[in-house]
Amino acid sequence: MTATHTRPVHTARQDWATGLTAFAAVMLFLAGLLGVFRGIMAIAEDDVFVTTPNYVFKFDLTSWGWIHLVLGALAMLVSFGLFKTATWARVAGVTIGALVIIANFLSMPYYPVWSIVAITMSGFIIWALTVVHRDTV
């Protein structure tokens, strides 16, 4: 006696794809939230950050604060689209992740350890969003 299944059978690959997309969504949200906090810190209290003299990419900390605040807010918004596995959110997530990497590299002398952590987090986000094929989500 065989039973017919009306529900599609999920493969292990589809489960991995769903898991990686959820991982990227959570990590992007957390990276965005921490970016917002870092932006607020830079805007409100410039003396929280270390200053490195003679750095090639020297910018005003308030400007960096606004950059991190805006990128963080965008990352949080895009993460909600990732929870719905929207294609636009995957593309935007990779773009935001790349911009976060660039912003953290350029602001590394002001907050070096956190910049390296944020770059690593964004690298994992980009990896999780690009390793999954669209047809498996």
Q: Which domain holds residue 120?
A: 27-131
Would you place residue 49 in the very low, low, confident or very high pLDDT band (cuts 50, 70, 90)? low
Question: Is 6 within the bounds of a domain?
Answer: no
Share the mean pLDDT of the chain: 81
Burial of 89 (0-12, 13-18, 19+ CB in 10 A): buried
Residue 63, domain member (yes or no): yes
- Per-residue model confidence as pLDDT tens digits over 5-39: 555 555 766 666 677 888 889 999 999 999 899 88
Q: What is the pLDDT of residues 69-90, one digit of tens each?
A: 999 999 999 999 988 888 899 9
Domain count, the chain: 1
Tell me the mean pLDDT in the region 107-134.
85
